[in-house]
């Protein structure tokens, strides 16, 4: 079975895995938006960038030295604009701080601008010839659409060499389109997590379920007890409303039917309305009954996904299934996995067939031009140095709080991640089957279109599971047989 290679050692850590979001965890990650910036095109460097993995020692702000990875070319003040859907203050500050510090050592003036409507606005910018230098794509399917349209450029040799050094193909291949590498992974999310308060479980006499059968039995027991609801659920997310529903469906397809069927579903080798998919959809709808769900907004579709953090922390429900990035949506001051009565922790969303599957997601940076300066930035973004410095900066911005960021880049220092974040690794290390978020891999008309909208209609009771699946199947683009990227590297 396909699984990521994850090792945690003194000098090497592979951290993963979610997110995006489903449609994109980063579309969903905050309501705080960075100031917009006017796209510019990077000036081309005069010489070819150095080979990937090259390290340079420079003076640090405290008078010492520090080693940074990537190209050693000096680009003479070239400006690079990067845009993406991450727009929460910690992420924007960490991305800018990390890239700008590195850029100063290479003669680059780098700016990242987050955009709540990135997936819509990037289409307009490309069509108008006003694209940024680099875009951070929350969906490999959309990246593939842009690649096939010729809007983004294949990676230069130096970027590919760095990618091979720092990333397993289990992650990098999702940005490979028709055999050509177009993007580098820059963020990963582990989705198969259930957030809960251990003390609340202990006080009520509940135990963490080890199997999905035990999970559903626990939900029934909690519902009958008449106290807090078993689950907090909300799927409202502006233009991305419905993505949390697709995550649950993907978890169920993977658990009920395994990785091979999951791949066939993503690649449209079986229709979206296959009876197994309909069963997965119905399983979710049944779990989301009124008896089982606390919805802060009055109903599931009107409840913002962010509201589930405060609801769980305040005891309105016992459990919430959400990706690793969700630590950023609990109230300020929330304690995590420290043994205190109010602390929040996670457990693995249980499996069914004993194959310990995990659902993951992530973002990918790709270039809208092939200037050497642009490729040098992508080269650096592919390194462990970038990942661990962004993580450290994001944690510092949050004054030691959980960052909401994870990276599967090899070679990171594990000390930059906190105990709960390293606990995400334990879940990943114990998995035997890993698959990327299906809606992110499907054609955009489906993955971030009808899967969201018809899923929302099913949650509202306006469509049955079968009707929703039939409608989504009818929306699958006729000019593509399957998912937009290479979704498997073996089984």
% of the chain at pLDDT higher than 70: 83
Is pLDDT of 404 > 70? Answer: yes
pLDDT (0 to 100) of residue 70: 67
Residues 88 and 197 in one domain: no
Q: Is residue 3 part of a domain?
A: no
Is pLDDT of 250 > 60? Answer: yes
Q: What is the pLDDT of residues 359-391, one digit of tens each?
A: 999 999 999 999 999 999 999 999 999 999 999
DSSP β-bridge partners for residue 68: 56
Last residue of a domain, one of 380, 404, 428: 404
pLDDT (0 to 100) of residue 35: 31
Residues 63 and 112 in one domain: yes
468 near 446, Cβ under 8 Å? Answer: no
How many domains is the chain partitioned into structurally?
2
Residues 259 and 322 in one domain: yes
pLDDT (0 to 100) of residue 53: 40
Residues 164 and 224 in one domain: no
Q: Is residue 442 part of a domain?
A: yes
pLDDT (0 to 100) of residue 434: 84
pLDDT (0 to 100) of residue 288: 98
Is pLDDT of 263 > 90? Answer: yes
pLDDT (0 to 100) of residue 31: 34
Is pLDDT of 30 > 60? Answer: no
pLDDT (0 to 100) of residue 430: 76
Residues 120 and 242 in one domain: no
The residue whose two tokens read 């907004």 is: 297
Q: Is residue 50 part of a domain?
A: no
User: What dihedral do alpha carbons 134, 140, 142, 147 form, nearest 10°?
Assistant: 60
pLDDT (0 to 100) of residue 297: 95
Residues 340 and 451 in one domain: yes
Residues 443 and 302 in one domain: yes
Residues 158 and 227 in one domain: no
pLDDT (0 to 100) of residue 95: 98
Residues 393-416, mean pLDDT to the nearest whole number? 88
Q: Two tokens at 355?
A: 């194959």
406 near 6, Cβ under 8 Å? Answer: no
Range of lowest pLDDT (51-60, 184-193, 396-405, 456-465): 51-60
pLDDT (0 to 100) of residue 426: 76
State the greatest distance between any 2 C-alpha atoms of the chain, in Å, as a whole number: 70
Is pLDDT of 60 > 70? Answer: no
Q: Which residue has the higher pLDDT, 32 or 133?
A: 133
Q: Is residue 158 part of a domain?
A: yes
pLDDT (0 to 100) of residue 480: 55
Dist. CA 322–CA 306, nearest whole Å = 10
pLDDT (0 to 100) of residue 317: 98
pLDDT (0 to 100) of residue 346: 95
425 burial via Cβ count (<10 Å: 0-12, 13-18, 19+): buried
pTM of the entire predicted model: 0.75
Residues 140-163, mean pLDDT to the nearest whole number? 95
Residues 136 and 229 in one domain: no
Q: Is residue 162 part of a domain?
A: yes
Residues 275-286, mean pLDDT to the nearest whole number? 98
pLDDT (0 to 100) of residue 182: 98
pLDDT (0 to 100) of residue 34: 32
Residues 177 and 212 in one domain: no
Q: Which residue has the higher pLDDT, 342 or 68?
A: 342
CATH number of the domain residue 465 falls in? 3.40.190.10
Average pLDDT for the chain: 85
Q: Is residue 132 part of a domain?
A: yes
Where b means 16+ CB within 10 Å and e means fewer, 304-342 reads: bbbbbbebbbeebbbbbbbbbbbbbbbeeebebbeeeee
Range of the domain at 348: 193-359+437-474
pLDDT (0 to 100) of residue 20: 35
Residues 369 and 462 in one domain: no
Q: Is residue 411 part of a domain?
A: no
pLDDT (0 to 100) of residue 16: 34
Q: Is residue 14 part of a domain?
A: no
Q: What is the pLDDT of residues 299-356, one digit of tens each?
A: 999 999 999 999 999 999 999 999 998 987 999 889 998 889 999 999 999 999 999 9
Residues 342 and 240 in one domain: yes
């Amino acid at each position: 079975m396909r699984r990521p290679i994850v090792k945690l050692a003194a000098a090497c850590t592979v951290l993963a895995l979610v997110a995006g979001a489903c449609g994109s965890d980063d579309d969903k990650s905050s309501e705080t938006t960075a100031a917009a910036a006017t796209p510019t095109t990077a000036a081309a460097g005069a010489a070819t960038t150095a080979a990937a993995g090259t390290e340079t020692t420079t003076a640090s702000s405290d008078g010492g030295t520090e080693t940074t990875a990537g190209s050693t070319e000096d680009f003479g003040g070239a400006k690079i604009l990067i845009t993406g859907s991450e727009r929460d203050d910690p992420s924007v500050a960490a991305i800018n701080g990390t890239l700008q510090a590195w850029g100063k050592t290479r003669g680059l003036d780098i700016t990242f601008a987050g955009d709540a409507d990135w997936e819509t606005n990037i289409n307009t910018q490309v069509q108008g010839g006003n694209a940024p230098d680099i875009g951070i794509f929350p969906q490999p399917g959309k990246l593939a659409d842009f690649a096939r349209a010729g809007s983004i450029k294949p990676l230069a040799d130096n970027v590919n060499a760095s990618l091979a050094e720092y990333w397993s193909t289990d992650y990098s291949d999702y940005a490979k389109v028709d055999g050509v590498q177009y993007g580098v992974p820059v963020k990963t999310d582990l989705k198969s997590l259930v957030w809960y308060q251990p003390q609340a479980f202990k006080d009520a006499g509940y135990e963490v379920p080890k199997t999905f059968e035990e999970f559903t039995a626990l939900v029934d027991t909690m519902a009958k007890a008449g106290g807090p609801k078993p689950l907090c659920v909300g799927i409202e997310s502006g233009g991305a409303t419905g993505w949390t529903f697709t995550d649950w469906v993907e978890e169920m397809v993977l658990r009920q039917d395994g990785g091979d069927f999951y791949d066939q579903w993503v690649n449209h080798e079986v229709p979206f309305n296959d009876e197994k998919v309909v069963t997965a959809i119905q399983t979710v709808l049944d779990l989301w009954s009124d008896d089982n769900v606390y919805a802060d907004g009055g109903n599931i579709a009107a409840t913002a996904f962010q509201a589930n953090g405060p609801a769980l922390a305040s005891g309105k429900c016992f459990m919430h299934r959400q990706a690793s990035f969700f630590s950023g949506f609990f109230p300020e001051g929330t304690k995590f996995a420290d043994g205190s009565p109010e602390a929040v922790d996670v457990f693995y969303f249980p499996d069914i067939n004993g194959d310990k599957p995990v659902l993951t997601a992530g973002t990918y940076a790709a270039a809208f031009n092939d200037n050497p300066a642009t490729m040098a930035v992508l080269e650096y973004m592919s390194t462990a140095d970038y990942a661990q410095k962004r993580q450290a900066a994001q944690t510092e911005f949050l004054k030691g709080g959980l960052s909401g960021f994870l990276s599967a880049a090899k070679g990171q220092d594990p000390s930059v991640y906190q105990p709960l974040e390293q606990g995400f690794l334990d879940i990943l290390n114990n998995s035997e089957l890993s698959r990327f978020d299906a809606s992110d891999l499907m054609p955009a008309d489906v993955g971030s279109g009808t899967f969201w909208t018809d899923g929302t209609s099913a949650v509202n009771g306006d469509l049955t599971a079968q009707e929703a699946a039939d409608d989504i199947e009818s929306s699958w683009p006729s000019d593509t047989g399957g998912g937009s990227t290479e979704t498997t590297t073996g089984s």
